[in-house]
Amino acid sequence: MKINFVTDDEYLNHDTGNSHPENIYRYKVVKSLLTSNFSEHNFIKPREATFEEICLVHDSSYVKEIINRIPKEGYNYYDPDTISSPKSLKSYLYAVGGSILAFDNLVEEKQLSNNSVYFCNHRPPGHHAEISKAMGFGVFNNIAIIAKHALQNPKINKILIVDFDVHHGNGTQHIFENNTNVFYASSHQYPFYPGTGSIEEKGNSNIFNCPLEANTPSDIFRKMFQVNIIDKINCQFDLILFSAGFDAHYRDPLASINLIKEDFYWVTNMILSKFGGKIPVISMLEGGYDEEGLKEGLNSHLEALRDYTQNE
- Residue ranges covered by each domain of the chain: 4-309
Beta bridge partners, 207, equal 184
**311 pLDDT exceeds 90?**
no
Q: For residue 256, what pLDDT is reported? A: 98
Residue 284 and residue 67: Cα distance in Å, rounded?
A: 23
Does the active-site annotation cover 301?
no
Q: Which CATH architecture has domain 4-309?
A: 3-Layer(aba) Sandwich (3.40)
CB neighbour list of residue 225: distance below 8 Å, 6 or more residues apart: 187, 210, 267, 270
Mean pLDDT across the chain, nearest whole number?
A: 98
Residue 142 pLDDT class (50, 70, 90 cuts): very high
> Is residue 188 pLDDT above 80, yes or no?
yes
Q: What is the pLDDT of residue 263?
A: 98
pTM of this structure: 0.98
Arithmetic mean of pLDDT, 72-100: 98
Percent of the chain with pLDDT over 70: 100
* Angle made by CA atoms 172, 43, 296, in degrees to the nearest 5: 65
Look at residue 154 and tell me whether its pLDDT is greater than 90.
Answer: yes
Catalytic residue among 14, 58, 122, 128: 128
Asked if 124 and 87 touch (Cβ cutoff 8 Å), the reply is no
Question: What is the rounded CA–CA span in Å between residue 148 and residue 47?
Answer: 18
Residue 303, judged by CB atoms within 10 A of its CB (0-12, 13-18, 19+), counts as middle
Does residue 312 carry a pLDDT above 80? no
Give the span between the Cα atoms of 187 and 215, in whole angstroms. 14
Sheet (strand 239-244) strand order: 42-44, 4-6, 117-120, 281-285, 239-244, 159-163, 182-189, 207-212
Average pLDDT over residues 180-209: 98
